[in-house]
């Protein structure tokens, strides 16, 4: 028998190393002012040399479990959304399972690039609906600093490292995940890629010499995709859930680029919502950006019970994923270990 599933805990982890715009600007031939004007980003976090994606993911998962007051042995599933895994195999989620001691959890990865967290959320929701009392950790984690050409201004200015997590479990009727919409435009897959290192173009001295293991992105093409796609996807997920746009109170988008989001936000029709941004000091953290921002907002106690929250991710593939939640009455843990900066765009 299916039952209602929702968020019962949130957590995030941002590496302690911070890289400001001055350092990035010196490497890319631009200025601090140019980066802020183009992206809204002032600094981003960098994983330490000993930290891999699984380390960040495990720290975020532990924070979510601690907030919910749940032991790791109670978790049924761990789903990690990442496009920067520790290794091609095994799945990064299996390492996270070991690191946090979730000995009873099945663990696997989802790769839908920056929309991966919302895709993973839908997968975990489907699994839990047929497992009464089950719990799932859904984690977005990326270490993009390891796949960037740090001299390329179109990508190096944007990305940071981090992880965010939610713990999903049973919530009262009428709360939790109310609807989701996942779409993919595979005909646009060339807009975002890491060209080498897979079965089509295996690693070789030539691919290394040609820089084909770096992340590449057609920035203008991505902007056009988001401008053309996001409004229709938001309209569709709300229509399917029979929710009026004016009833949404919180919009948590993928933190791709603050300037781009500022341009598209007024077109979405979410007149009573706040668009939450946490990218000024964290940058674009890939699949981690939505759960990190959600954790920022939650720990600031900005989410009231029954508030409608719309999550929207978009990224490589090209894919868009949207999830609508009626917020459940989660408990608050002790304040986060650091000040959690956030901006907001109001409807």
Which one from 21, 111, 125, 254 is the annotated catalytic residue? Answer: 254
CA distance linking residue 150 with residue 211, whole number of Å:
12
254 is catalytic: yes
SS3 134: coil
**What is the spatial distance between Cα 232 and Cα 148, in angstroms, rounded to a whole number?**
31
From 114, 125, 276, 312, the catalytic residue: 114
Structural tokens at position 107 = 């663990």
Interatomic CA distance for residues 215 and 222, integer angstroms: 14
Residue 90 preceded by cis peptide, ω within 30 = yes
* CA–centroid distance for 126 within its chain: 19
Residues 6+ away with beta carbon under 8 Å from 334: none
- Contact between 280 and 150 under an 8 Å Cβ cutoff? The reply is no
CA nearest neighbour of 168 among 65, 281, 254: 65
Out of 125, 284, 298, 312, which one is annotated catalytic?
Answer: 284
In the residue annotation, 114 being an active-site residue is answered as yes
**Rounded distance, CA 51 to CA 271, Å?**
41
Residues catalogued as catalytic: 114, 254, 284
């Amino acid at each position: 028998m299916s039952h209602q599933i929702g968020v019962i805990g949130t957590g995030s982890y941002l590496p302690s190393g911070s890289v400001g715009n001055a350092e990035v600007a010196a490497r890319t031939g631009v200025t601090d002012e140019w980066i802020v004007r183009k992206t809204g980003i002032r600094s981003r976090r960098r994983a330490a040399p000993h930290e891999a994606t699984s380390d960040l993911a495990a720290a975020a998962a532990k924070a979510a479990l601690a907030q919910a007051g749940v032991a790791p042995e109670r978790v049924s599933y761990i789903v990690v959304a990442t496009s920067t895994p520790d290794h091609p195999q095994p799945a990064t989620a299996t390492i996270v399972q070991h690191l946090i001691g979730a000995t009873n959890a099945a663990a696997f990865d989802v790769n839908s690039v920056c929309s991966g967290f919302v895709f993973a959320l839908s997968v975990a929701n489907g699994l839990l609906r047929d497992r009464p009392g089950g719990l799932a950790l859904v984690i977005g984690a990326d270490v993009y600093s390891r796949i960037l050409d740090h001299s390329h201004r179109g990508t190096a200015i944007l990305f940071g490292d981090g992880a965010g997590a939610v713990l999903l479990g049973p919530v009262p009727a009428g709360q939790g995940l109310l609807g989701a919409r996942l779409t993919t435009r595979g005909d646009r897959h060339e807009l975002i890629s890491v060209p080498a290192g897979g079965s089509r173009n295996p690693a070789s001295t030539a691919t290394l010499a040609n820089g084909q293991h770096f992340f590449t992105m057609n920035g203008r093409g991505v902007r056009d995709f988001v401008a053309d796609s996001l409004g229709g996807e938001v309209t569709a997920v709300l229509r399917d859930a029979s929710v009026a746009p004016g009833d949404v109170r919180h919009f948590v988008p993928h933190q791709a680029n603050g300037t781009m989001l500022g341009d598209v936000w007024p077109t979405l029709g979410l007149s009573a919502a706040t668009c939450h941004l946490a990218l000024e000091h964290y940058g674009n953290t890939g699949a981690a950006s939505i759960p990190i921002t959600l954790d920022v907002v939650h720990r600031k106690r900005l989410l009231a019970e029954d508030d409608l929250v719309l999550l929207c991710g978009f990224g490589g593939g090209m894919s868009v994923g949207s999830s609508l939640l009626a917020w459940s009455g989660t408990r608050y843990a002790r304040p986060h270990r650091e000040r959690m900066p956030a901006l907001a765009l109001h409807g």
